[in-house]
């Protein structure tokens, strides 16, 4: 962080940040530190929306956004940074416009890219603090490792259905002691497919607002040196029961990044590390091919492996067998004709096919590419 003591404010800025400056344990010095700070936010979705809004409103001088995705209708239930008019726009561009409208006295740096092992260290080194708002294990490990290797604090949060988590990783306190990182909490990723993503399992719309705001609070504390950050502690919030828990995290001697015998000295292949590249490909069928089968009278069985609530919301007349019950219901799946299995986007149905092929020897299964989302898009386009 550049020398914050040289930071000056205009009269308009002083009026804007007045409620910060008059706090006895915050004051002008903390506001100067905020303006001098450079914070990198990875992802501008559910968590990134409130995180970015409150960092911008607080007066963080430079905010970097790493985001490659576009705004979709399904985002608006929880990603409050965007409006209906932003659908189809690049998220990073829409976010930049919204944040500059909220606070014209800060600088927004946009990185239209997916975070990878090739660019992560270069990006992370440009900033003082990193805030991880991603929703998949490969990227979480990537962000963590890049922060440890670059000596940066990683303010972490995650959400799923009704539960959220917050912690601060790789934080060095005033005594020069560096706290635990993500690998101390999760030494190894879960098996592929065990933990569904928010796109597959859903998330309560208000939850990212709660957890993302807590994440913003931790970033502000780290930047300003105010209070006690969540270093060495994992905060868990259950919105359904309105219960909170805090677990202590300790550094592990076998941590491959900074344990007693480190083995990771550069960024690795995180898709491979999380087991995603080891999955064998499954046979696929496009929506157009499926429609041709229907028109030509091809005999096939159609199976939906989503959950009951998803099926009731929208379905295409398939036999419902949720992914978690596929093995128990394998006898309901035809072996004498082609079987097309679908979910929302194609990920869960691919896992169902691998399970059925590996456990029960099926060889007549097809994964619907793009799932019901693509089916509805194509059929709607054809209809119009």
The set of residues, in sequence order, having a beta carbon less than 8 Å from that of 236 and lying 6+ positions away, is: 163, 164, 165, 244, 245, 246, 247
Question: Which listed residue (52, 129, 219, 343) is catalytic?
Answer: 343
Q: How far from 282 is each of 323, 340, 360, 366, CA to CA, in Å?
A: 16, 12, 15, 7
Within 10 A of 280 (CB to CB), how many other CB atoms are there? 9
| Phi/psi-derived region of residue 227, left when phi > 0, alpha when psi is between -120 and 50, beta in every other case | left
**pLDDT computed for residue 101 by the predictor:** 96
CA distance 211 to 154: 15
- Whole-model pTM: value is 0.76
**pLDDT computed for residue 189 by the predictor:** 82
Question: Which listed residue (198, 207, 230, 352) is catalytic?
Answer: 198
Per-residue pLDDT tens listing for the chain (384 residues):
558 888 999 999 999 999 999 999 999 999 999 999 999 999 999 999 999 999 999 999 999 999 999 999 889 999 999 999 999 999 999 999 999 999 999 999 999 999 999 999 999 999 999 999 998 889 999 999 999 999 999 999 999 899 999 999 999 999 999 999 999 999 988 766 556 665 666 788 899 999 999 999 999 999 999 999 999 999 999 999 999 999 999 999 999 999 999 888 999 888 777 776 656 789 999 999 999 999 999 999 999 999 898 899 899 999 999 988 999 999 999 999 999 999 998 888 998 999 899 899 999 999 999 999 999 989 887 655
| Residue 343 annotated to the active site | yes
**Three-state SS for 319?**
strand
| Residue 147 annotated to the active site | no
Closest CA to 141 of 185, 197, 92, 194: 185
Residue-range domains of the chain with CATH: 37-278 (3.40.50.720), 284-383 (3.40.250.10)
CA distance 50 to 310: 27
């Amino acid at each position: 962080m550049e020398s914050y003591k040289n930071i000056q404010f205009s009269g308009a800025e002083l009026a804007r940040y007045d409620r910060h400056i008059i706090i006895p344990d915050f004051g002008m010095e903390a506001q100067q530190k905020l303006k001098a700070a450079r914070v990198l936010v990875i992802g501008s979705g559910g968590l990134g929306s409130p995180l970015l809004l409150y960092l911008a409103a607080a007066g963080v001088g430079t905010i970097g956004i790493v985001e490659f995705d576009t705004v979709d209708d399904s985002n608006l239930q929880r990603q409050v940074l965007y409006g209906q008019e932003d659908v189809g726009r690049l998220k990073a561009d829409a976010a930049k416009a919204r944040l500059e409208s909220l606070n014209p006295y800060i600088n927004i740096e946009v990185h239209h890219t997916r975070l990878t092992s090739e660019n992560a260290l270069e990006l992370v080194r440009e900033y003082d603090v990193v805030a991880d708002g991603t929703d998949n294990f490969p990227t979480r490990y990537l962000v963590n490792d890049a922060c440890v290797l670059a000596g940066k604090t990683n303010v972490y949060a995650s959400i799923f259905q009704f539960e959220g988590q917050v912690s601060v990783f790789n934080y060095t306190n005033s005594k020069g002691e560096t706290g635990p990182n993500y690998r101390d909490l999760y030494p190894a990723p879960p098996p592929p497919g065990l933990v569904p993503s928010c796109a597959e399992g859903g998330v309560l719309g208000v939850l990212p607002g709660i957890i993302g705001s807590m994440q913003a609070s931790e970033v502000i504390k780290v930047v300003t040196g105010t209070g006690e950050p969540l270093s060495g502690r994992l905060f868990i919030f259950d919105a359904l029961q309105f219960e909170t828990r805090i677990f202590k995290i300790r550094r592990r001697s076998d941590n491959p990044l900074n344990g007693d015998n480190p083995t990771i000295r550069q960024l690795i292949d995180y898709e491979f590390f999380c087991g995603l590249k080891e999955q064998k490909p499954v046979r696929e069928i496009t929506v157009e091919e499926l429609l041709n089968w229907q028109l030509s009278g091809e005999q096939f069985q159609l199976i939906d492996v989503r959950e009951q609530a998803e099926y009731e919301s929208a379905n295409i007349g398939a036999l419902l067998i949720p992914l978690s019950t596929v093995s128990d219901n394998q006898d309901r799946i035809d072996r004498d004709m082609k079987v097309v299995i679908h979910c929302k986007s194609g990920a869960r149905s691919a896992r169902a096919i691998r399970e059925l092929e590996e456990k029960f020897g099926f060889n007549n299964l097809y994964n619907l590419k793009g799932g019901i989302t693509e089916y509805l898009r194509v059929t709607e386009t054809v209809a119009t």
